[in-house]
């Protein structure tokens, strides 16, 4: 992915990691378009970054996704980068009787079906460009799950798997497929903005941009603080890392 001159769509771009990426890519000289549910945050972000554009999007709604794809293609025909970042994270008690599946189903629709549907809707446009990038934002929890958030962790594991398959199917095309694998970052997701265990958002974005600007960018964008989760299995440490992670959150 080239550093500048791109036209980039970022879902969930009004806050957290999405806003951090949007602003960093905007500063580098890219046309950035953000989309998400909360119009007030999108407007605030766009107004703070002159030239940035925004669209409202309910990522759970297939018809809204198709509508956004049509609108983006019409207004930004040079779109060549899609960042599937929108996501929700909720705790679940699997021992509840009865189990309330509303949160689980919302996470599947948002975190997994949303990126799959938006990628499918925009892939013809992306494939028509001389070069293009799809970057899916998964999580370190795709590799070592947090038991408090079982479905969130599962959706991110599924998104990792989907990304690997998408990359392989597009290997002979001009579309590169990247995966951004965040650690625990200080954002409003799961009320982690003030948690000292989480990496500061500004530090995460700076390290991420350094990796993204490398030539070539690695297929998996992993800052150092997520290596313990990402490579736990390869390093033969899955059980120890899983236990340590979950014991830490069980005590908090």
Neighbours of 164 (CB within 10 A): 14
Residue numbers of the domain that contains 169: 7-226
Share of the chain above pLDDT 70, in %: 99
Residue 238 lies in a domain: no
pLDDT at position 189 is: 79
Q: What is the DSSP letter of 191?
A: G
| Per-residue pLDDT band at 192 (split at 50, 70, 90) | low
pLDDT at position 21 is: 98
CATH number for position 170: 3.40.50.720
Residue 241 lies in a domain: no
pLDDT at position 4 is: 95
Residues 87-105 as b or e (16 or more Cβ within 10 Å = b): bbbeebeeeeeeeeeebbe
Q: What is the mean pLDDT of residues 214-230?
A: 96
Whether 204 shows a pLDDT value over 90: the answer reads: yes
pLDDT at position 49 is: 97
Residue-wise pLDDT for 17-70, tens only, equals 999 999 999 999 999 999 999 999 999 999 999 999 999 999 999 999 999 999
State the DSSP H helix or E strand holding residue 45, giving kind and residue range, or none if neither: helix 39-48
Neighbours of 161 (CB within 10 A): 12
pLDDT at position 252 is: 66
pLDDT at position 194 is: 78
Residue 232 lies in a domain: no
Residue 23 lies in a domain: yes
Annotated active-site residue 184? The verdict is no
Q: How many domains does the chain have?
A: 1
Residue 135 lies in a domain: yes
Residue 206 lies in a domain: yes
The one catalytic residue in 152, 162, 168, 184 is 152
Residue 91 lies in a domain: yes
pLDDT at position 190 is: 72
Q: Whose CA is closest to 115, among 151, 74, 166?
A: 166
Q: Which two tokens stand for residue 186?
A: 């200080």
Helix/strand/coil for 95: coil
pLDDT at position 61 is: 97
Q: What is the mean pLDDT of residues 187-198?
A: 80
Share of the chain above pLDDT 90, in %: 92
Q: What is the mean pLDDT of residues 186-205?
A: 86
Q: Whose CA is closest to 84, among 55, 54, 116, 48?
A: 116
Residue-wise pLDDT for 114-152, tens only, equals 999 999 999 999 999 999 999 999 999 999 999 999 999
Q: What is the CA angle 16-241-234, rounded to 5? A: 95
Residue 236 lies in a domain: no
Phi, then psi, of 130 in degrees rounded to 5 = -60, -35
- Rounded to the nearest 10 degrees, the angle between the axes of helix 114-127 and helix 62-75 is 30
């Amino acid at each position: 992915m080239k550093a500048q001159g791109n036209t980039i769509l970022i879902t969930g771009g009004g806050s957290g990691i999405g806003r951090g990426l949007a602003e960093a890519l905007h500063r580098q000289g890219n046309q950035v378009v953000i989309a998400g549910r909360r119009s007030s945050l999108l407007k605030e972000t766009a107004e703070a970054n002159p030239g940035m554009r925004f669209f409202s999007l309910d990522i759970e709604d297939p018809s809204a996704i198709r509508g956004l794809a049509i609108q983006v293609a019409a207004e930004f025909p040079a779109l060549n980068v899609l960042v599937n970042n929108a996501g929700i994270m909720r705790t679940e008690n699997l021992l509840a009787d009865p189990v309330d599946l509303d949160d689980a189903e919302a996470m599947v629709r948002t975190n997994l079906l949303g990126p799959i549907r938006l990628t499918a809707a925009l892939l013809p446009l992306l494939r028509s460009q001389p070069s293009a990038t799809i970057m899916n934002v998964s999580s370190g929890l795709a590799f070592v799950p947090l038991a408090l958030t079982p479905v969130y962790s599962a959706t991110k594991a599924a998104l990792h798997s989907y990304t690997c398959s998408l990359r392989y199917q597009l290997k002979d095309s001009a579309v590169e497929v990247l995966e951004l694998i965040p650690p625990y970052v200080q954002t409003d997701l799961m009320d982690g903005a003030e948690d000292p265990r989480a990496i500061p958002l500004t530090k995460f974005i700076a390290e991420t941009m350094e990796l993204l600007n490398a030539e070539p960018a690695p297929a998996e964008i992993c800052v150092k603080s997520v290596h313990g989760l990402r490579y736990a299995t390869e390093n033969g440490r899955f059980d120890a890392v899983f236990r340590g992670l979950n014991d830490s959150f069980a005590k908090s």
